[in-house]
Amino acid sequence: MKNYFRYIALLLIILVASCSFRMGSEGEIRSEEEIRLERACRIDSSMFLPDSNDEGGRGRSRSPIECKDSLSKLSAEAWILVEDSTGLLISAKNPHKRMFMASLTKMMTCLLALENGNMGDTVVITQDVFLTKDSRVRPGDSYLLGNLIREMMLQSDNNAATALAKHIGGSTEAFCDMMNTKAAYLGMDSTHFANPNGMPNDSNYSSARDLVVLSRYCMADSVFASIAGTPFMDIPLTDGRHLPCENTNLLLGQYEGCIGVKTGYTRQAGSCLAAAATRNGTRLFLILLNSRSRSSRFTESAVLLDYGFKSKWPLFPVASSEAE
């Protein structure tokens, strides 16, 4: 009988804990989407101290790891490094500066295609979406929607992104409206999307801060995370052919714990990377913009991620923290 009552008590404790996890500060029930959004947008700068000698936005932190030697030499124009569970801001340079984002744009394209598309739809690559010659997809090719999303993300395929935008939105203009509506929902105040692929356009811009919110929100979707973390995939076309695709994110399989997310490059934007990595239960998200070269975006991202993992941070931020 005693064991029975202990069992009932344990069930009640679990039930209360589960309900409490979803309760807001005033006791309201919070949906999974509300929790996901709040977590993606949370950036806690309580441990981050702006460097008064650097008007460009570089900062220092209360970490036993000295950052000047390792981080001051990085060529990237902007970055932000955040610990995911707390939103703790570990390192940043020009995090709010509006910059071109190249193919990091495709994170939003992928997100909206997953949220609004039917993965079993057939998408034909028509001549009007064949805008760049460096594409792996060709006019007349057809893919299931889910497979075209994978091809776009792994190969960073501009024409695939355009085909997805027209299929989901009816036109690229309508799809861009969807992108900007979603950006507003995520609080991406320094962002405007003018195309679905990140090709050079003065009206297609974002900031490191906005993009880290987007990447954290995207990676909370298990399908998105699976695609972003896939190093290689043999992607089928509907006619039985296959297209071997290797992920352009070279940190996958080479940097311990890397789980994504997306590369970007144009002459206008420079070399960019959205990266995420997990070690020993700690997950870091990094946005790096306008690095010197396509190779330096990976080496510099590894330096920043190493810095984050080596730093000794409290498990939770202090209660009086000033969050962004």
Tens digits of residue pLDDT in 271-311: 999 999 999 999 999 999 999 999 999 999 999 999 999 98
**What 3 state SS string does 176-221 have?**
HHHHHHHHHHCCCCCCECCCCCCCCCCCCEECHHHHHHHHHHHHCC
75 is catalytic: no
Q: Give the model's pLDDT for residue 26.
A: 57
Instruction: Judge whether residue 83 has pLDDT over 70.
Output: yes
**CA separation for the pair 97, 116 (Å, rounded):** 30
Dig out the tokens for 118 from the structure.
């039917």
SS3 of residue 21 by DSSP: helix
Q: Give the model's pLDDT for residue 170.
A: 97
Closest CA to 307 of 10, 101, 144, 81: 81
Which has more pLDDT, 299 or 70?
299
Annotated active-site residue in 93, 106, 166, 262: 106
- Residue 190 counted as domain residue: yes
- Residue 242 counted as domain residue: yes
Q: Work out the number of other CB atoms within 10 angstroms of the CB of residue 212.
A: 27
Dig out the tokens for 232 from the structure.
């290689």
Give me the CATH number covering residue 274: 3.40.710.10
Q: Work out the number of other CB atoms within 10 angstroms of the CB of residue 206.
A: 28
SS3 of residue 295 by DSSP: coil
pLDDT in tens, 88-121: 999 999 999 999 999 999 999 999 999 999 999 9
Q: Give the model's pLDDT for residue 64.
A: 39
Dig out the tokens for 119 from the structure.
């993965």
Q: Work out the number of other CB atoms within 10 angstroms of the CB of residue 15.
A: 10
**CA separation for the pair 301, 257 (Å, rounded):** 13
- Residue 182 counted as domain residue: yes
H helical segments located in 77-207 = 106-116, 145-155, 158-169, 172-185
Closest CA to 87 of 16, 37, 18, 21: 37
Whole-model pTM: value is 0.85
Q: What is the DSSP letter of 63?
A: -
- Residue 38 counted as domain residue: no
Dig out the tokens for 134 from the structure.
């460096």
Buried b vs exposed e over 20-47: b needs ≥16 C-beta within 10 Å? eeeeeeeeeeeeeeeeebebbbbbbbbb
106 is catalytic: yes
Annotated active-site residue in 45, 91, 103, 296: 103
Annotated active-site residue in 61, 156, 271, 291: 156
- Residue 162 counted as domain residue: yes
156 is catalytic: yes
Residues 117-136: what's their mean pLDDT? 94
Give the chain's domain count.
1
Dig out the tokens for 237 from the structure.
């076309």
Dig out the tokens for 110 from the structure.
């992928």
- Determine the structural domain holding residue 182 and report its residue range: 99-310
- Residue 171 counted as domain residue: yes
- Residue 4 counted as domain residue: no
Judge contact between 129 and 214, C-beta under 8 A: no
- Residue 45 counted as domain residue: no
Judge contact between 152 and 160, C-beta under 8 A: yes
